[in-house]
Amino acid sequence: MGERARIARYFAPLAQQEAGSFSLTDDAAVLVPPPGKSLVVTTDSVIESIHILPGASPFQFAQKLVRRNLSDLAAMGATPWRYALNLHTPHGLPDRWFAEFAATLASEQALFDMVLVGGDSTSSAGAA
């Protein structure tokens, strides 16, 4: 499955609540915080063998990714609202990997009351 099809199938449904996400048809989003609120932005990555053990499941990757970023927000006293996803994977991951990863993101979104708004998704032979 190509990148655009993967985004449309697994990640665009996670962005439906935010008009400024443009259904993830672009890497960027237009966000207008609620009146009286400031926007705090963070973007930590999760790299296998550095931030997470080799062979971690898609569930573990997604949860680690979300919670690393939530930790940064908590350290600043910020409340989660929207998030961007930067995902770099090896070629050839099966669709079930992305399905489980996206399902975990959906659970994390519901748990922490936030919505996916953009980011970047790539794959290469050298990714791990």
Q: pLDDT by residue (tens digit) across 72-106?
A: 999 999 999 999 998 999 998 999 999 999 999 99
Q: How far, in Å, CA of 39 to CA of 91, rounded?
A: 35
Query: Is pLDDT of 128 > 80?
Result: no
Considering the entire predicted model, what is its pTM?
0.88
Question: Under 8 Å CB-to-CB from 36, ≥6 apart: which residues?
Answer: none
Name the band, by pLDDT with cuts 50, 70 and 90, for residue 126.
low
